[in-house]
Chain A
Amino acid sequence: MEYNVAVCVKPVPDPKHYDKVTIDPVRKTITREGIPTLLNPVDKNALEAALLLREKHSGSVTAVSMAPPNAAEILREALAIGADEAYLLSDRAFGGADTLATSYTLFHGLKKIEALRGGKPFDLVLCGCESADGATAQVSSQLGEWLGWPHLWNVFSLEETGEKAFSIKTKLENGHMEWNAKLPLVLGVARELNKPRFTSVMGIMKAKNKPLTVWGREDLPDAQDTYLGLKGSPTQPGEIFTPDMKRSGEVLRGTPEEIAARVVSVLRANGVAIGG
């Protein structure tokens, strides 16, 4: 048995530096200067799940990204971590895409890869459940719809129960759901699913010789303009701003007991009953 798994990955600005994000007041764009780009952290969990399946059985792991040209760097990283091949869907025509247009582009990328393999379909498409920057968490579900495959989001447990059959657990606010599923599937995976491996030096050396293909608009002839890029996106961005959440605070001073007494009075003043 072999598993051919596609993993959708995305470059994101390093979340450690989000406090540095500012808005250009004139151009109304987000300034992310000096913030390094990373492979979206939870996408590594998706990649890890794919690699574990390939290592247990056989098959292939294909990393796919729709992103600007410099995303080749994070695809190279995916190859170094262990993916067999990588595809970057990159074109101005794809730019400004919302989640529907993004998932549509990814869908056509996946179809084209399948066509190149003689029509052999992917068994499984894995995504991180959300990106660190936009965090809409919608692409995996919508990609599932474009593919016409069942899909689940926030997957934290994935156990094989038979040939291309899985028992899956997804997170709920206060618990979880269990599912029985047969492939093909699209899964948005949570960080609790596994612990991603570190990139190895040997992997970096091997990645040099692995194929990284860049496709533009003309490489996806079956895709329709009505669904691509900014123009094909039903949602359109408006203004952006940084919320002002500042409060003018009073500093409480004194011994811990004095401070505690003040906090108790603050609680009381705000209608919190203490001692019945």
Chain B
Amino acid sequence: MSKKIWVHAELSDGKITNVTFELLSKALDLAKEMGDGAEVEATLIGTGLDGEAGRLAEFGAKKIYAADDPRLKLYSPVTYAPILADLASTHSPEIYVFGATAAGSALGPTVAARLKTGIAAHCVDLQLNGEKKLKALVPSFGGKVIGEILCPGKIPQMASVKPGIFVKKEPALAPKAVEKVDLRTYAKLLDAKALEPVSAVRRPPSGLPLNEAQVVICGGFGVGSQENWNRLEELARLLGGAAAATRPAVDEGWTGEHTMVGTSGQSIRPKVYIGFGISGATHHICGMNESGVIVSVNRDEEAAIFQVSDFRVVGDGSVILSALLNAVKAEME
């Protein structure tokens, strides 16, 4: 029987998340490398899944195991994990990957614990070693160190990967093959009251999602004030991009945590990244070093950010920001 690589598909407001497609794209590459007809399959939990299951097939999932029930509308480790663990026990995938999202970061290890297998957390790359075993690259010390994690003796070999690490490729078109999970055996779990999800509240996205933007204007502590921050956001808007932040800028209250880039925020890979007043702590750099072109502005010529930049501007961030904003406005007229 051919080996299988599984991707758990996460939903957000009933729609498949971007990270799922990124993972499917990577899984297809790994399957090819693994050879012997290895196939990519997906797991999906929620309610009213028909349409979204089709999307998974479009991106190359040969088979989709779908647990479809109104009581599964909202994520809960109590209901999701047993279903996924039982599926994995039954079908024995070689590799099983999760998006390291807020839900996936908890669900992945929960499933792993039920299966008594290993899971590499927040991976920055997934590779196969000489024995076609999963070699997951995991950052530690805020990204200063990358370690390889193997799971030699157990299956599935599990991993979670943050959004934005892998590139979502074009649809790979597999025929839609959905296997519905028989949920009758889970009746007790689905009706249990010890832990109940009540609601998922999502902010309507303001502007472009950070990890889809082609231009990201990022600001750090050196931006200096809310007023400057507003101009930074204006610049991002004018360029059709998104504004992002480092932890210190979030701590200053200039912007929300959802714009944070780095090991404890998002990973981004825009075509152009322009950073203002960012010192370049490792945990930020890890989240943006895959950007196409990196332009940095900092008044400290020794700032670590310059080490990873293609274009370096030593100067006052707010002055350069104003000049750039004016230049872009002039170009637009």
Contacts and interface: CB of A to CB of B under 8 A. Distances in A.
Any A–B CB pair closer than 8 Å? yes
Interface of A: 13, 15, 18-19, 21, 23, 30, 98-100, 103, 130, 132-138, 141-142, 144-146, 150-154, 167, 170-182, 185, 188, 227, 233-243, 245-247, 249-252, 255-257, 259-264, 266-267, 270-276
Contacts of A30: 141, 145
A246 B310 CA distance: 9
B313 interface: yes
A70 B120 CA distance: 27
Interface string B71-97: 000111110010000000000000000
Interface stretch (B23-31, B173-181, B218-226, B323-331): B323-331
B263 to A, nearest CB: 7
B110 A144 contact: yes
A257 B141 CA distance: 39
Listed residue (B119, B263, B264) with the most chain A CB atoms within 10 angstroms of its CB: B119
A259 B196 contact: no
A263 B311 contact: yes
B226 to A, nearest CB: 20
Contacts of A145: 81, 110, 113-114
14 contacts: A18-B141, A18-B144, A136-B122, A141-B109, A152-B77, A172-B103, A180-B198, A235-B118, A239-B147, A249-B296, A249-B311, A256-B319, A261-B327, A275-B331
B240 to A, nearest CB: 7
Given A172-B102, A251-B312, 15 more contacts: A99-B119, A130-B264, A152-B106, A154-B105, A177-B199, A179-B197, A179-B198, A181-B196, A188-B106, A249-B307, A251-B313, A260-B323, A270-B271, A272-B215, A276-B332
A178 B192 CA distance: 16
A243 to B, nearest CB: 5
A84 B126 CA distance: 44
Given A19-B144, A176-B201, A238 B150 contact: yes
Say whether chain B's binding surface is mostly helix, strand, loop, or mixed. mixed
B200 A175 contact: yes
Interface stretch (B39-47, B59-67, B151-159): B151-159
B9 interface: no
A118 B99 CA distance: 42
A141 B110 CA distance: 6
A245 B294 CA distance: 12
Nearest to A139: B109
